[in-house]
Amino acid sequence: MRKLIAGGLVAATALVGASGALAQQKDEDFVKYRQGAFQTIAWHFGPLAGMAKGDIDFDAELAQRNAERLAQLASMPWEGFEGGPHDAGDGHTHAKEAIWEEMDKFEGGAEKFQQEVDKLAEVAQQGELGPLRQQVGAVGDTCKKCHDNFKED
Amino acid sequence: MRKLIAGGLVAATALVGASGALAQQKDEDFVKYRQGAFQTIAWHFGPLAGMAKGDIDFDAELAQRNAERLAQLASMPWEGFEGGPHDAGDGHTHAKEAIWEEMDKFEGGAEKFQQEVDKLAEVAQQGELGPLRQQVGAVGDTCKKCHDNFKED
């Protein structure tokens, strides 16, 4: 059994980089993580925005699943900023300096986003396009507000 | 109110690309999404592997939070493969052709991963390093198995 565990741990370690990297995350890891988390959020928001705009057919089941996932994902990206590096060491980032200069405002925006996607997940359970459309708009507004303030184009 | 909604939808659309892109996801979007989802998984697994290996101090609360998030994330990456492109059009991918050649096996591996992270989330609630360490090993094994079969180095 011990050998099995050890094997799994060797595998686990290989997956997340060399042993030292586990204890000390590299700047690059922070940037990759927060970009990956936003990418995952955008993927799930896309079809909801498409349904709200009428670009794709309303699919109540997909809307509910994606809204639920968004409510789970909404809390995730921020730890890639707080206490993290401003860029990956090579200047590669879309994050504005304003994030660290106005962390309270940034965190407030993250909280507002969480509130609106939580409401989206509730609304999506109704299975009706009208209320969903309205709440997708409310979520989109929180995204845009933060991007305007804190994200480079 | 209508104006507010419309504004939000314009914002929503801008966030996920041009209007047409909502209805039809580009090859690049699939690749970015699945890589982003795995990045998000790796971020949360890292500290658990670190604790299991003894590289970082055991933190029961963080372990529980990350394991819970992993259980949520584990179902997400796969839709970036099924029905999706093999690469981003420029050959950029770590995905082996075997994924599409052996989709049943690939999906079986994804299911096994979900089962093991679900168990990890349960085990993490005990707040003890011993059982956590063992289950981190079991999760790591499912990661490694799939990577060996389906992921280019």
DSSP B79: G
Answer whether A22 sits within 8 Å of B47, measured CB to CB.
yes
* Mean pLDDT across A39-65: 97
CB contact under 8 A, A7 and B137: yes
Six-digit token pair at A39?
Answer: 């990418």
Facing B52 at nearest CB: one of A9, A46, A50: A9
Contact A142, B12 (CB under 8 A): no
Cβ proximity of A115 and A139 under 8 Å: no
Handedness of CA B111, B113, B119, B121 (dihedral sign): negative
| CA gap B128, A40 in Å, rounded | 31
Cα(A13)–Cα(A32) distance, integer angstroms = 18
Residues A112-122 as b/e (b if ≥16 CB within 10 A, e otherwise) read bbbebbebbbe
**52-81 of B, contacting A, C-beta below 8 A:** 52-53, 55-56, 69, 72-73, 76, 80
User: Average of pLDDT values for A65-91?
Assistant: 91
The amino acid sitting at A84 is G
Q: Which of A95-99, B14-18, B70-74, B77-81 has the lowest mean pLDDT?
A: B14-18
CA B1 vs CA A2, A120, B4, B17: distances in Å? 63, 17, 5, 24
Across residues B12-33, what is the average pLDDT? 65
pLDDT band at residue B26 under the 50/70/90 scheme: confident
CA distance A72 to A136: 16
CB < 8 Å from A in window 91-120 of B: none
Superfamily (CATH H level) for A26-150: Cytochrome c/b562 (1.20.120.10)
Give the C-alpha distances (Å, rounded to integers) separating A58 from A52, A61, B22, B95: 8, 9, 13, 31
pLDDT for the residue B125: 98
Angle between helices B103-124 and B129-150 (to 10 degrees): 170
Averaged pLDDT of chain B:
88
Chain A partners within 8 Å of B119 (Cβ): none
Q: Which residues contact B148 (CB under 8 A, 6 or more apart)?
A: none
| B43 close to A29: Cβ distance less than 8 angstroms | yes
Residue of A nearest to B47 (CA): A22
Domain locations along chain B: 26-150
Alpha carbons B104 and B22: distance in angstroms, whole number: 29
Measured between beta carbons, which residues in chain A are less than 8 angstroms from residue B76?
40, 69
Among the partner-chain residues A52, A56, A140, the one whose CB lies closest to the CB of B23 is: A56
pTM of the model: 0.88
Using CA coordinates, name the residue in chain A closest to B38. A36
The answer on pLDDT for B64 being more than 50 is yes
Distances (CA, A) of A117 to A114, A138, A150, B90: 5, 9, 20, 34
Interface test with A, best of B2, B3, B5 (most A CBs within 10 A): B5
Per-residue model confidence (pLDDT) at position A85: 84
- 3-state DSSP: chain A helix, strand, coil percent, rounded to 5? 75, 0, 25
